[in-house]
Amino acid sequence: MVTNTAAGTPPAASPIVYELAGITKSYAGQRLTALERVDFVLRKGTFASVIGSSGCGKSTLLKIMAGLIPPSGGRATLDGTPVTGPRADIGMMFQQATLLPWLTTLQNVLLPIEVRDGKAAAREARPRAMTLLQTVGLKGFEASYPDQLSGGMAQRAAICRMLVSEPVVFLLDEPFSALDEITRDFMNMELQRLCAAWEATAFLVTHSINEAVLLSDVVYVMAARPGRIAEIVPIDLPRPRTLDMVNSPEFGAYVRRIRERLDTGAFK
């Protein structure tokens, strides 16, 4: 059996980057628990996805992992230290590019550095940001304002903004779901290329089964009420993945397995 990961290393051999142990979340005044005992590890250079219907707690999970909200119980550990708030070594992408319209593309990319470490640090990081923009094909657009960028270009700038802090883990909250399907496919291939080049550890929240299977080394299927991981599906397809693979029988089998698990979850 071939075990190719995003970075080309077998998952079991690579070190643990992110660890969730018994993560539970319940909100005050609500009877239902949003998350119940979520455990998993992300290993260096692997791409993991969590998939589930709306309200299954996957966004809550991502926010806890990003240090944006505290869990009610359990522990999140990144790179050996517990996550107790937002951190520079966590990179995030959202459904919208959320570029600030009054900043140029370059200023937007440098924003995390500027907010965290000040203007001088942002100036120092300029060459790095320029290189990143070139990597994603936005060379020549540094001085453009966001309203001059297409949706796909804006998300590519958002990728640069995530990468500029050189994060240890990428947390991706349905980053391309607002794009049209053609652009989304293209961006997913771009994402795969970047993740391979960075040997990135990535965690994607999505509600597209195809997207999850196409990009991931492992897919966590979530069930709702309470939010929990119902099944872990390792994806054993060769890398690099191509859009053609979507039509292969192996791909279809993964999709079917995940869909069946999601269906039983939905009607339970």
Partner 1 sequence: MSTPDTARSDTVWVEHVALIDRIPRSLGMAALLVGFVLAWQLLCMSGAVPAILLPTPAETGADLLFVGQNLLSGGYVLKAAATTASEMLLGFAIATSLGIALGILVGETRFGERAVMPYLVAIDTMPKIAFAPLFVAWLGFGIASKVALAAFMATFPVVVATAAGLAAVDANAQMLFRSMGASRLKTLTRLKLPIALPYFFAGLKIAAVSVTAGAIAGEFMGGGEGMGQLIRVAAGQLATARVFSLIFYLSLFGLTLFVLVGWIERKVVFWRR
- Residues in contact with partner 1 by CB under 8 A are 63, 66-68, 85-88, 90, 92, 94-96, 98, 100-102, 111-112, 115-116, 145-147
Strands (E), the chain: 16-26, 33-43, 47-51, 73-78, 81-82, 90-93, 169-173, 201-206, 218-223, 228-234
Going by DSSP bridges, is the β-strand pair 201-206/81-82 parallel, antiparallel, or unpaired? Answer: unpaired
* DSSP assignment of 29-42: T-SSEEEEEEEEEE
Kindly give the interhelix angle for 126-135 and 151-163, rounded to the nearest 10 degrees: 140
Q: Considering beta carbons, is residue 98 or 150 the nearer one to partner 1?
A: 98
Q: Considering beta carbons, is residue 7 or 110 the nearer one to partner 1?
A: 110
* Token output for 169: 């883990």
- Least distance from partner 1 to the Cβ atom of residue 144, Å: 12
- Least distance from partner 1 to the Cβ atom of residue 258, Å: 27
Q: Considering beta carbons, is residue 102 or 267 the nearer one to partner 1?
A: 102
- Least distance from partner 1 to the Cβ atom of residue 12, Å: 31
- Please name the residue that has the structure tokens 């993964």: 254
CB 188 within 8 A of CB 155: no
- Least distance from partner 1 to the Cβ atom of residue 76, Å: 14
Q: What is the DSSP letter of 15?
A: P
CB 41 within 8 A of CB 225: no
Q: How far is the C-alpha of 262 from the C-alpha of 158, rounded, in Å? A: 30
- Please name the residue that has the structure tokens 């940001």: 129
Q: Considering beta carbons, is residue 98 or 248 the nearer one to partner 1?
A: 98
Q: Considering beta carbons, is residue 11 or 67 the nearer one to partner 1?
A: 67
Q: Considering beta carbons, is residue 18 or 254 the nearer one to partner 1?
A: 18
